[in-house]
Structure 1
Amino acid sequence: MPVHCVINKEKILNILAGVQNITNKKNTIAILDNILLQLENSLLTITAIDMEVGLQLSIEAEEMAAGSITLPSKKLYEIVKVSSSDTIEIKETENNWVTIKAGPSIYSLAGMASAEYPLFPRREEEKSIKVPSVLFLELIDRTQYAIADDQENMYSLTSALIDIEEKDGSTLIRMVSSDGHRLSLMEKAADSEILKLKNESGLILVPRRGIQEMKKYCEGRDEVEMSLENDLLFISDDKSMLAIRLKKGEYPPYKSIIGVIQKKYQVTVEREKFIESLIRSDLFTRDIYHTIRIDLARDSMIFSSENTELGSFKEELPVSYEGENLTLGFNCRYFIETLEVMEGEKVHMYLDGQDSACCFTSEADQGFLSIVMPMNI
């Protein structure tokens, strides 16, 4: 039966805005550019799905005729966004066309049959657990920046690793990310119920787009329900559900990588001043790697960068350091991005020598650790 309903503009606009990152992609399957609208019992369910992520949300609607159809996500969003009316009327006519009325404006929009739309994954309700949203928001905020781009050759690095384990009578959940040049880890204590999210392999690899949607979903919600079934991670509340298809593969042994750093030398520095000096240093970096030179001496850190065509930069920053003199090369952008997600006035920077990786921690960031690999200068 052709669908016909009237819906609140602001409610559907919020939903349409939230699904654009899923549907507004270069999909090889044309119908994935559309959203599925299903109307039943005065409830309009909207589904957006691609090969990695699916999102399903429901809002109340004034129902004239139940039914379902798929419509172009971007164009429907544009129509609703510029509408001057408080309500939007959608009425299916013939051959999957719909008439959209918004105040004095009338639009005709081509859709596609709902039967062609992929099925949204189903989950088993009894397997889900309730989790405070803030737990995953903290994990994501501290690690998302270091996930590798999709061009990365090592497939698993385009995901964030979720690792759950029991240690010394406590249940810990970690999120780890790495692009091969740096590694970021955030660890939090959690209720033992979170152990139900562990799978047989112990590896939960959430793709980068899944992490992005996971963050958006958790924001504005105090609590969510989560479950892990086969290769799918489900996150939901009473009116919506996010499904993320997990990646398969081996993740680098992050514990071994962390264990290599012996923390022979410690530098303590004011975080904000450190960031400001790095930003200034980056003005004269001469390559795509944003390489700067750092000279460490007792209670002193000197930044320098040079561009043969533009000029050079040098600045000294007071720090707390009592080790031997060291000359270091690092990508200053990696330092900046790490320091920007950290908290607290001061951070600790650990090194083992001239060509060692650098490890960042802070007393204000319990559970957080970041490693940046060195560069040749």
Structure 2
Amino acid sequence: MKLTIERAALLRSLAHVQSVVERRNTIPVLSNVLLEASEGQLGLTATDMDLTIHETTPAMVQEAGATTVPAHTFYDIIRKLPDGSEVELALDGEKGQVRLRAGRSNFSLSTLPREDFPSTASVELPCRFTLQAGEAINLIDRTRFAISTEETRYYLNGIYLHAGTSNGVDVLRAVATDGHRLARFEMALPEGAGEMPGVIVPRKTVNELRKLIDEVEGGVEVALSETRVRFTFGSVELASKLIDGTFPDYERVIPSGNDKVMSVDCRSFASAVDRVSTISTEKSRAVKLALRDSALVLSATAPDAGSAEEEVPVHYEGPPLEIGFNSRYLLDIAQQIEGEGAEFTMADGASPTIVRDAADPSALYVLMPMRV
């Protein structure tokens, strides 16, 4: 293997793939990135056995070939090279090393054989559809903050993606919950997604996909089966195992009888919650909402720190109501509301509350109350 490649192109692709590689690995080759040089391009692949990213980038290839090098070391070297550098890579098979040269800099990197690297052959996935990059970003951003980090409830450690119906219209739904809050986002069902199985896309896959599609313009092709999913866009292919579990019946968590509606300016509400929560204890982060007429009083008390109170104007015509929430959960939801107004639909101080963006019906959030 022998090739020359622009530092900027190599750095961009390497940044994408190396983030999959775990810092500690019991299998040495999983710490490496696979380099495959073929006519006019260099392919880079990294995997943790559950998630695989493959990307190709243009290169001047003198000799085709393949090998693996330590991912994080390789990335750090390329990152520290001067802008505009031309990077020369050459495999020395006898020494089992890759020689790297850029200007006056010379490095030798240890390698492991291509044959040791896990097979990355594409599996045929029967269900295929395309999302626009903006749609995929919306789908992730509106839900991923509610993904559970509790490993014992592994079936909640991802976004549940499935086809459904809303008001007689077929929709694609993304749902995430950690037991304290639930986020649901829906969009028009893409062509080809009608027969898709309900799947749980793991948190790490969601986060890697979100980083990658930030730079994408156009479509993201999604292909999936009951056990695997693959996202393809530009020169990048991200393939992942799905979580093998059953997502709970989330519809039962969404209350249907809430009749007390509070409308509030989202930005002023979020700012007030942020200020008041400064006094709340680090453990509970509790903030109390007291509703009377057209005023909302936010308050927090901590035995060691003192108390805080702030009044926010709202539109509310129901009876007086007091309810407590985790302030961090309130702020997470407020960040997802792009319009000016947020709408809270409540039943009483002990029942789940529904939060919506007043200007966008595609997203719905459910928040469990807490004692204050």
Moved more, 9-18 or 22-31: 22-31
| Deviations 1:294-346, CA, capped at 9 Å, x for gaps | 21111111111122222221111111111111221110110000011111111
Superposition map of 1:95-114 within 5 A: 95-114=95-114
Q: Does the 8 A contact of 2:349 with 2:369 survive in 1?
A: no
Give the match's secondary structure for 2:152: coil
**Could you tell me which residue of structure 1 aligns to residue 352 of structure 2?**
357
CA contact (8 A) 1:164 1:195 kept: yes
> Quick one: structure 1 residues 193 and 166, their matched pair in 2 at CA, closer, same or farther if it must change by over 3 Å?
farther
| 2:236 matched residue in structure 1 | 240
What is the identity, as a one-letter code, of the residue corresponding to 1:244?
S
What's 1:31 paired with? 29
Number of matched residues?
Answer: 369
User: Which SS does the other structure have where 1:193 is aligned?
Assistant: coil
Contact 1:234 1:244 in 2 (8 A): yes
Shift of 1:125: 7.9
Counterparts in 2 of 1:12-31, with a 5 A limit?
12-31=10-29
Structure 2 counterpart of 1:211 = 206
SS of 2:315 mapped into structure 1:
coil
Distance 1:120 1:160, change over 3 A: same
Deviation at 1:230, TM superposition (A): 4.4
User: TM-score by structure 1 length?
Assistant: 0.93
1:250 to partner: Cα distance:
1.2
Greater alpha carbon shift after TM alignment, 221-230 vs 12-21: 221-230
Q: Which amino acid aligns with 2:158?
A: S
* Equivalence for 2:250: 254
Cα separation, 2, equivalents of 1:353 and 1:291: 17
Given that residues 261 and 357 in structure 1 are in contact (C-alpha distance below 8 angstroms), is that contact kept between their aligned partners in structure 2?
no
Pick the aligned partner of 1:68 from 63, 66, 69. Answer: 66
Distance of 1:364 and 1:238 partners within structure 2: 33
Q: Which deviates more, 18-27 or 278-287?
A: 18-27
Residue 304 of structure 2 corresponds to 309
| Matching residue of 1:115 | 115
Shift of 1:175: 0.3
Q: Where in structure 2 are the equivalents of 1:318-333 lying within 5 Å?
A: 318-333=313-328
Offset, 1:163: 1.4
Cα distance in 2 for residues equivalent to 1:289 and 1:307: 10
Residue 369 (structure 1) aligns with: 364
Contact 2:35 2:67 in 1 (8 A): yes
Evaluate the alpha carbon distance shift between residue 147 and residue 360 of structure 1 in structure 2; reply closer, same or farther with a 3 A threshold: same
Counterparts of 1:182 and 1:115, CA distance in 2: 46
Q: 1:165 to 1:309 in 2, by over 3 A?
A: closer
Amino acid at match of 1:305: A
Q: Which runs of 5+ in 2 are unaligned?
A: none
Check the 8 A contact 2:16/2:212 in 1, yes or no: no
Stretch of structure 1 that moved more, 163-172 or 242-251: 163-172
Q: 1:153 aligns to what?
A: 152
What is the DSSP-based 3-state SS (H/G/I as helix, E as strand, rest coil) of the residue aligned with 2:142? helix
Once residues 120 and 60 of structure 1 are traced to their aligned partners in structure 2, the CA distance between those partners, rounded to angstroms, is 21
- Indicate yes or no: 2:275 matched with 1:288: no
Are 1:171 and 1:191, in contact at CA under 8 Å, matched by a contact in 2? no
Assess if the C-alpha contact under 8 Å between 2:294 and 2:313 holds in 1: yes
Give me the whole-angstrom Cα distance separating, in 2, the residues matched to 1:241 and 1:6.
23
CA spacing shift, 1:121–1:352, aligned 2, 3 Å: farther
Superposition map of 1:136-215 within 5 A? 136-149=136-149, 151-166=150-165, 170-196=169-195, 198-199=196-197, 203-215=198-210
What is the CA–CA distance in structure 1 between the aligned matches of 2:318 and 2:247, rounded to whole Å?
35
Q: Give the direction of change, closer, same or farther, for the CA distance of 1:278–1:127 in structure 2 (3 Å limit).
A: closer
In the TM superposition, what is the alpha-carbon distance from 1:166 to its structure 2 partner? 4.9
Residues 42, 185 of structure 1: CA spacing in aligned structure 2 closer, same or farther, 3 A cutoff? same
Tell me, yes or no, if the aligned pair for 2:163 and 2:189 is still in contact at 8 Å. Answer: no
> Does residue 267 of the first structure (1) align with residue 262 of the second (2)?
yes
- State whether residues 131 and 223 of structure 1, in contact with CA within 8 Å, keep that contact through their aligned partners in structure 2: yes
The equivalent of 1:5 in structure 2 is 3
Moved more, 40-49 or 266-275: 40-49
After superposition, what is the alpha-carbon deviation per residue over 1:147-178, rounded to whole angstroms, capped at 9, x for unaligned?
A: 011x3421111111001135666320010000
Structure 1 runs of 4+ off > 4 angstroms? 166-169
Give the SS at the match of 1:176.
strand
Uncovered stretches (5+) of structure 1, i.e. residues with no partner: none
Partner Cα separation in structure 2 for residue 283 and residue 365 of structure 1: 30
Cα distance between partner residues in 2 of 1:248 and 1:170? 29
The residue number in structure 2 matching 1:130 is 130
